[in-house]
Amino acid sequence: MKIVSLALNLPGPVAVARLVAEGASAIKIEPPWGDPLAGICKPWYDELHARVTIEPLDLKTPAGMDTLKARLAAADVFIAGHRPRALTRLGLDADSLAVQFPTLRHLNIVGDTSNPDEAGHDLNYQARAGLVQGGLPLTLAADMAGAERAHGAVLALMHEGPGSRRVVGLFDAVRDLAAPLRRGLTVPGGFLGGGNPAYAVYAAKEGMVAIGALEPHFRARLYGALELPDGSDLSITMLTRTAAEWEQWALNQDIPLVAVVSGN
C-alpha cells in the first residue's frame, strides 16, 4: 500500500504510523513551516514519522502542486485532515482528484461529519460529547479514537476497490466513546461511576488502587478474601496496605485490582 498524506497534528500521523508498521509505505506532505506537532512534542513526532518520508511543499505554488500530483499518481491512498472547503479550494477534494486519478482512494479526517467545515479540536469534541467535567481531559480521546477509525477506514478502502472514498469524524468517534456516560453507567453515583464499591478507586497506605470486580465470581472472591460482607465499603480496608502490596495480593488471589499509575 502506497500512501500520500497531508494530515497534520495527531489523528492522521497516528493512523499512518500504524499502517506503515503493518507494511505500507508513506510520503507525508508538510507545509514549509512543518507540522505543529513537531514543535509541541518533538519526541512523539519523531516516533510517528520514523519510517515516513517527509516532503515539505508549498501547495499554493504551481511547483508544489505539481510535485504533490506526481506523488499521487503513484499512490493507492490519499489521506487528508482538512475541512472540505479547504480541499476544494486546493482542488484536492475527492471529486476533483477523481478526474485525474480515477483509481486513487480518498480519505479525509474531519472534526464532525454532520458539520465538517466547522472549526474545532479534540477539546471541543470532548466537551460536546460530555467528557469535559471541570478541567482539561487527561488524554486526546477524540484524536486517538479518530486515528483508530482512520486506520480502519484505509484498510476498508483497500477492500472496496480503486476510486473509493471515506470521511472519518473525530467528534463521531468520541461521541461513541461517551455512550456509557449518556446511558448513565459512568455518571457520578452510577453503577460504574461510584455506585458499586467493587468497581472503584480507593486510596491505599501509599498510592491508590483501582478495583474492577464486576463479575459475580470476582466480587465474591474479593469480599471473601477480605473477609468482609458483600457490598461493604472498602475505603478503610484499602488503607492497610500500599498500592503495590494490594496489587501483588490481588495477583495471587486472581482478583482484578491494580495500582493506579500516575499520568506524570
User: Can you give the pLDDT at residue 184?
Assistant: 96
How many residues are present in the chain? Answer: 264
Give per-residue pLDDT as tens, 195-242.
999 999 999 999 999 999 999 999 999 999 999 999 999 999 999 999
Q: What is the mean pLDDT of residues 188-201?
A: 96
The gap from C-alpha 6 to its chain's centroid, in whole angstroms, comes to 18
User: Can you give the pLDDT at residue 264?
Assistant: 61
CATH number corresponding to 199-259: 3.30.1540.10
Q: Quick one: which of 145, 188, 191 has its CA closest to 168?
A: 145
User: Can you give the pLDDT at residue 134?
Assistant: 87
Give per-residue pLDDT as tens, 39-82.
999 999 999 999 999 999 999 999 999 999 999 999 999 999 99
Q: Where in the chain are all domains bearing CATH 3.40.50.10540?
A: 2-180
User: Can you give the pLDDT at residue 182?
Assistant: 95
Give per-residue pLDDT as tens, 163-187.
999 999 999 999 999 999 999 999 9
Check if the beta carbon of residue 149 is closer than 8 Å to that of residue 168. Answer: yes
Per-residue DSSP letter, 204:
-
Domain 2-180 top-level CATH class: alpha beta
Check if the beta carbon of residue 198 is closer than 8 Å to that of residue 222. Answer: yes
Distance CA 20, CA 116 (A): 27
Owner of C-alpha cell 472472591? 221
User: Can you give the pLDDT at residue 262?
Assistant: 84
- What is the pLDDT of the chain when averaged over all its residues? 97
User: Can you give the pLDDT at residue 148?
Assistant: 98
Q: The C-alpha cell of 37 is what?
A: 506537532
Q: Where in the chain are all domains bearing CATH 3.30.1540.10?
A: 199-259
Q: What is the mean pLDDT of residues 243-251?
A: 98
The pLDDT-based confidence of 1 (bands split at 50, 70, 90) is very high
pLDDT at 24 over 90: yes
- Crossing angle of helices 141-160 and 122-129, in 10° steps, is 100
Owner of C-alpha cell 476544494? 88
